């Protein structure tokens, strides 16, 4: 009997690690697993990325609760370190270091920090392209030095013989709208000056502005500002917008509803980012989610038409969705936060007379992205204003994938988006 009991105990001891391993595996799998659209080609890779971001957010909440640091600054530090996407270390304080084929310099344009990428070719008689790039990150994350942005700008500079200027605009919570926009506008005006273009041997007829996500928001707004400013003699010749975030009046477009739970930009998060950027109390988030801030009593029919997806979207994107219109909503929001109707914050709200002066456009959108319809509506409105637009839509794309081009977050879809972007620049800039 003792032998039987001893054997049973030994079996239990051997079984215990297996049980613990299975339990941990199931627990981790439950935490990581997220239902995703079938069109996404590397679902488990995206689930891991999403889990990493959620972990950063949860840890930041604990750090904030303990009083060690601001919630957003903690998210910024943890998300960057989690994926190893910190400074590339390719430049120095003065003049920059030289990397294969491209010289990188960290300097300032009109007091705004920028990172400049210079290809080896050029000089007198060999004018180069110029491109100003605004990174994404929801107005609170990201930098010109982030590996994904750095890798992208190295490629553009090297392959297209282009001087690329990546702007380090200030972020939330240190600043709010309109500071990031004004930083980008000031840097753009400096870049377009005759003196700077001559210094870098840039052809004034071949200068672009570009950005991804909120960087696309800033690129569109800056393009509008430059195009309508008679004091600026050199204008951007093209604008390239990557799944841009362009309006804060309707958070119930078909893409916001269809993709509200698709990583990495959830519908609730997008609303929160807008509230933070515009300096609005976060407790008002539920009102924006049901469009109480954009009722017919507070927004003119003319403005409403500029974000009316029922007339601006192609039929295949509307599906069976119906517009969420509120007759009586919160007058307090629009009255106390005029930035909600400011085209510098929401470029989709610009009038047709402004859009008509804008440069040719490349607008990239992803099917599995809450911002899909923002980009599609802007492309339509630009075309209606007489601007030549190339719309590039990826059925298997999702928000953020344009930045997922370097290890450890490397996706095939990201590489395809970047390749399409560079090819378009090569043919149009």
CA–CA dist 237, 246 (Å, integer): 21
Coil vs helix vs strand at 103: strand
Alpha helices in 161-259, H assignment, sequence order: 179-191, 194-199, 214-227, 254-258
Which of the residues 150, 250, 369, 373 is marked catalytic?
369
Q: How far is the CA of 384 from the CAs of 266, 349, 411, in angstroms?
A: 30, 14, 35
Report the interhelical angle of 43-66 vs 71-82 (nearest 10°): 140
Report how far residue 64's alpha carbon sits from residue 190's, in angstroms, rounded to the nearest whole number: 38
Q: What is the DSSP string of 365-426?
A: EEEE-TTHHHHHHHHHHHHHTT--EEEEEEEEEETTGGG-EETTEE-HHHHHHHHHHHHHHH
Q: Give catalytic status of residue 190 as yes or no.
A: no
End-to-end distance of the chain based on CA atoms, in angstroms?
A: 86
Tell me which H or E stretch contains 116: strand 112-118
State the Cα–Cα distance between residues 75 and 264, nearest whole angstrom.
14
DSSP β-ladder status, 360-368 and 389-398: parallel
Measured distance CA(306)–CA(348) in Å, rounded: 7
Burial (0-12, 13-18, 19+ Cβ within 10 Å), 40: buried
Longest dimension (CA), the chain: 98
Which residue in the list 105, 213, 255, 294 is annotated as catalytic?
213
What is the rounded CA–CA span in Å between residue 202 and residue 198?
6
Select which of 105, 150, 399, 403 is catalytic.
399
Cα distance between residue 209 and residue 407, in whole Å = 27
Is residue 213 annotated as a catalytic residue, yes or no? yes
Which residues belong to the active site? Answer: 213, 369, 399
């Amino acid at each position: 009997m003792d032998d039987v009991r001893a054997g049973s105990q030994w079996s239990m001891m051997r079984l215990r690690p297996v049980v613990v391993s299975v339990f941990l595996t199931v627990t981790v799998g439950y935490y990581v697993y997220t239902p995703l659209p079938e069109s996404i080609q590397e679902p488990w890779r995206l689930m891991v990325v999403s889990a990493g971001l959620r972990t950063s957010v949860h840890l930041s909440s604990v750090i904030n609760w303990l009083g060690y640091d601001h919630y957003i600054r903690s998210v910024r530090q943890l998300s960057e370190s989690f994926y190893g996407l910190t400074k590339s270390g390719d430049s120095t304080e003065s003049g920059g270091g030289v990397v294969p084929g491209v010289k990188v310099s960290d300097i300032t344009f009109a007091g705004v920090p920028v990172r400049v990428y210079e290809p080896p070719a050029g000089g007198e008689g060999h004018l180069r392209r110029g491109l100003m790039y605004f990174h994404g990150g929801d107005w609170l994350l990201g930098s010109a030095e982030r590996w994904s942005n750095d890798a992208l700008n190295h490629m553009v500079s090297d392959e297209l013989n282009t001087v690329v200027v990546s702007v380090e605009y200030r972020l939330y919570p240190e600043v709010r709208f309109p500071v990031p926009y004004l930083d980008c506008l000031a840097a753009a005006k400096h870049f377009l000056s005759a003196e700077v273009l001559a210094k870098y041997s840039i052809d004034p007829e071949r200068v672009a502005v570009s950005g991804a996500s909120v960087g696309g928001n800033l690129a569109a707004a800056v393009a509008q500002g430059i195009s309508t400013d008679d004091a600026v003699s050199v204008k951007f010749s093209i604008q390239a917008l990557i799944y841009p975030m362009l309006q804060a009046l309707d958070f119930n477009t078909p893409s916001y509803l269809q993709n509200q739970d698709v990583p990495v930009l959830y519908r609730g998060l997008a609303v929160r980012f807008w509230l933070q950027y515009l300096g609005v109390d976060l407790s008002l988030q539920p009102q924006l989610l049901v469009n109480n801030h954009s009722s017919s009593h507070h927004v003119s029919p003319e403005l409403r038409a500029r974000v009316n997806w029922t007339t601006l979207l192609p039929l295949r994107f509307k599906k069976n969705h119906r517009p969420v219109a509120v007759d009586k909503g919160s007058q307090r929001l629009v009255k106390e936060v005029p930035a909600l109707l400011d085209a510098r914050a929401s470029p989709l709200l610009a009038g047709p007379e402004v859009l008509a002066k804008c440069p040719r456009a490349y607008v990239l959108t992803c099917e599995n992205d809450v911002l899909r319809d923002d980009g599609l509506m802007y492309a339509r409105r630009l075309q209606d204003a007489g601007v030549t637009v190339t719309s590039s839509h990826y059925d298997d794309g999702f928000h953020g994938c344009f930045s997922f081009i370097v290890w450890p977050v490397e996706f095939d879809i990201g590489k395809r988006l970047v390749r399409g972007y560079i090819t378009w620049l090569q043919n149009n800039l």
